[in-house]
Amino acid sequence: MRNKNMDVVRGIAVLGLMYMNVYFFGLFEFGYVPQPTPPLSDDVIQTVNLFFIDGRFRTLFCLLFGAGLYIQWQRYQNITILKKRLKVLAVFGLLHGFLLWAGDILFIYACGGWLTCKYLNADNSIIIRRAWQFLFIGALMSMVLMLVEPYIVINRTDSAFLQSYEQTLSSLGNILGTNALMFVIMIIAVPLITLWMSAAVMLVGVYIYKLKVFDDGLPAASVRTVGCIAFLLSCLRVLLEYQHFQLAHVLKEPLNWLAALFTALLLIHIIVKAVHKDNWITIGFMRLGRMSLTAYISQTVCLFLLFKIVYPHWVLSFNRIDYLYLVTVLALIQYFSFWLYSCYFKLGPLELVWRKLSR
């Protein structure tokens, strides 16, 4: 029997991903580039992003993915079946990353899941110890790489940004070629950073599933501690955002992973406690969560078409509030369209393909 709470969390997470990813669909290598004098709303929205969005929904997915692997292992008692599913997911991720968007998470999750499979039968003490060890490895590698990467602050009037815009978006061939190159760089980062970080969070997902956090929420004694840690780490991350020295640049990413982990744990607790009975909002997120793969890829297709094909000039004019408005409209459309679709079909098209190819 499916865990309703996990489906609801997954549905919320898949919509939340758009709020994080949308900035990277214009020019992936730059992300959001502000105007020379950005509006006040930029700072307000970025602060909210750093507290509640940036990395938080990706981490929610990692936690759910780890818990899902454990559930499947309990059901099949056969690691071969799980690894076949991960291989198919990796192929999906490679196609998604090379053809559409370099920020793909499916390939990373497949690799992290493969490592997580080695510990599905381990004791809780080993699982949580490995999780912290993997987090340390990923954080250390991230800091080392950031030390050698030059830290440059740019705005939309800088020649590097404008040249990249002209070259990348001048033709479909350039769009696809640049995206493929960016994805190669992302793949190189997998064994260095993202494999360890994602596997660590997945192991935490296994750990909290075994503790029934997805059923009952966090233990009462832990809620305040987790909340305080999440708040303090997020505050520190916000402070680093506005510091322009090299050490701040080095610490941003590992600190954000930690802040995202504790924030995601708190979000799971809040959602689990809030979902006491079915209502139309809960049911909508639950249905969306059951088709999260299709929802995720459809987001990419939509944003790719908007920012690469139809309105590429948006990257020159959009401020953060414009991205916020756009994603909110798209999230509402996706929420209700998947609600309608689920009235007639139990599985999304990509979930169906994944299931068939994994047999």
Give one DSSP letter per residue of 207-249, joined into a string: HHHHTTHHHH-S-HHHHHHHHHHHHHHHHHHHHHHT--SHHHH
Helices (H), the chain: 4-21, 40-52, 56-76, 79-99, 106-116, 124-148, 159-168, 172-189, 195-210, 213-216, 220-241, 246-274, 280-289, 292-304, 314-317, 320-342, 349-357
pLDDT at 350: 97
- In angstroms, the CA 45 to CA 43 distance is 6
- The amino acid that residue 266 corresponds to is L
Q: Which domain holds residue 311?
A: 4-357
Model-level pTM? 0.95
Pair 297, 289: CB distance under 8 Å: no
- In angstroms, the CA 54 to CA 62 distance is 14
Q: Is pLDDT of 49 > 90?
A: yes
Which bin fits 64, alpha (ψ -120 to 50), beta or left (φ > 0)? alpha
- Region 188-199: mean pLDDT is 93
Residues 6 or more apart whose CB falls under 8 angstroms from that of 175 comprise 168, 169, 308
- In angstroms, the CA 32 to CA 18 distance is 14
- In angstroms, the CA 117 to CA 138 distance is 18
Burial 7-38 (b: 16+ CB within 10 A, else e): bbbbbbbbbbbbbbbbbbbbbbebebbbeeeb
Token duo for residue 183:
């994805």
pLDDT category of residue 175 using cuts at 50, 70 and 90: very high
Total domain count, the chain: 1
pLDDT tens digits, residue range 260-295?
Answer: 999 999 999 999 999 877 788 899 999 999 999 999
pLDDT tens digits, residue range 131-162?
Answer: 999 999 999 999 998 887 777 789 999 999 99
Q: Is pLDDT of 297 > 70?
A: yes
- Region 328-346: mean pLDDT is 96
Residues 6 or more apart whose CB falls under 8 angstroms from that of 135 comprise 196, 197, 200, 257, 258
pLDDT tens digits, residue range 72-82?
Answer: 999 988 899 99
Which bin fits 77, alpha (ψ -120 to 50), beta or left (φ > 0)? left
pLDDT at 117: 96
Burial 210-238 (b: 16+ CB within 10 A, else e): eeebbeebbeeeebeebbebbeebbebbb
pLDDT at 46: 95
Token duo for residue 92:
């999906």
Burial 286-325 (b: 16+ CB within 10 A, else e): bbbbbbbbbbbbbbbeebbebbbeeebeebeebebeebbe
% the chain with pLDDT above 70: 99
Averaged pLDDT score across all residues of the chain: 94
Q: Largest alpha-carbon pair distance within the chain?
A: 58
Cα angle 66, 89, 323; round to 5: 80
- In angstroms, the CA 258 to CA 178 distance is 31
pLDDT at 1: 65
- Region 310-316: mean pLDDT is 96
- Region 214-225: mean pLDDT is 94
Q: What's the CA dihedral at 260, 266, 270, 272 to 10 degrees?
A: 90
% the chain with pLDDT above 90: 87
pLDDT at 279: 83
